[in-house]
Amino acid sequence: MSRRHIAISLITTALLLGAVVTVWHVAHPNTPGSTATPQLIADPAASQPAPSGDTQNASLSAIPTVPFMNPTDLKTAFEIAASTTRASIPATERPVAGLVNHHNLAAPLLARFARDLHTVLPETEEIVILSPDHFNKGPGLSTHDHPYDTPSGEIEIATDDVSSLVQRGIASYSPELFKNEHGIGAVVPFLAHEFPNARILPLALRMNRPDATSNLKIALREALDRPHTFIVISADMSHYLSGDEAFQHDINTKTWIETCDEQHLWNATDQNLDSGRSVSTLCAALHADHKTPTFHLTAHDLSTNYGGDPKSTTSYLTGFWTIKK
């Protein structure tokens, strides 16, 4: 074989080896020395397709509420609540938001709140339920458009509002998150009992993502401007304390809520409430529109009154924020 033929053969072999190496690195981008661009793994929540305004949520699988609230306990809770005094709001004030527990041990408080809401605002057509993202599953502020299956029937979602928030990047579309989120699931059956035809706008705020509250503020301000829309903040107060310690912390928390103290609410820990930044942002939304809210306390209770462990309690404050008409 001539030298020329040998040279051509060597060049051809080198080119073939180079092609093989390139193919290997493309198929194995983490291999040392690879120059291929690595593929990014998308956030599972962000990978969900955003709903359109024409979404027919009846075709989506409904989220069952039985895992969050047993129908028998739901019925009993309303029977107990029937014996309590109904809330009274002055005729000069309009309820715009409410505070209720999501700890289902205190189911009678949930029933009382739902019944009181129907008393003070029976024309409610849409209910925004704002919960902590308890398991930190969402990227910030999350929502979804699956209906909820409750003992009172299937309760629909405010799909137009969900679509608007998602399309504008204000909230992420994260339906998987809500299948285990008791902050919403434990509250919906009670509201459905009193408002079976109302639509729900579910929101979950990841508390360790403070940047998400700017989006929440937008969502809340828009909700405050919609007629016949009411905001419910799903929140439990002090956690894991003795009864005496819990009530001492609740004194401060109650003052912060009544005065809409944004700073103290923002910095609150589980020793005061699990949704401090939600309440702080609601206050900020009200203040931004030059609204001065008044808080009407309807209940202050402790988990020990419902059979809870006296050494590790959860406390509850429920009530309504109103503004002057």
Could you tell me how far CA 283 lies from the centroid of its own chain?
A: 17
The pLDDT, as a whole number, for residue 60 is: 81
For the stretch 129-170, pLDDT in tens is: 999 999 999 999 999 999 999 999 999 999 999 999 999 999
Would you give the DSSP letter of residue 52?
Answer: P
Q: Is the pLDDT of residue 49 over 80?
A: no
C-alpha separations of 241 from 132, 218, 255, 314, 315 in Å:
20, 35, 19, 7, 9
For position 195, what pLDDT does the model report? 98
Angle between helices 213-225 and 159-167 (to 10 degrees): 140
Residue 66 has pLDDT above 50, yes or no: yes
Tokens standing for 80?
A: 């107990």
Lowest-pLDDT choice from 12-16, 178-182, 242-246, 275-279: 12-16
| CA 39 vs CA 14, 26, 48: distances in Å | 28, 10, 18
Instruction: Report which of 220, 232, 160 is spatially closest to residue 194, judged by C-alpha positions.
Output: 232
Give residue-wise pLDDT tens across range 160-216.
999 999 999 999 999 999 999 999 999 999 999 999 999 999 999 999 999 999 999
Confidence bin at 33 (pLDDT 50/70/90):
very low
Interatomic CA distance for residues 316 and 159, integer angstroms: 31
Q: Which residue segments constitute the domains of the chain, with CATH numbers given?
A: 61-324 (3.40.830.10)
Reported as a single tens digit per residue, the pLDDT across 218-231 is 999 999 999 999 99
Confidence tier at 55 by pLDDT (50, 70, 90) = very low
Confidence tier at 35 by pLDDT (50, 70, 90) = very low
The distance of Cα 213 from the centroid of its chain, to the nearest Å, equals 12
Total residues found in the chain within this entry: 325
Count of C-beta atoms within a 10 Å radius of residue 242: 14
Average pLDDT over residues 253-277: 97
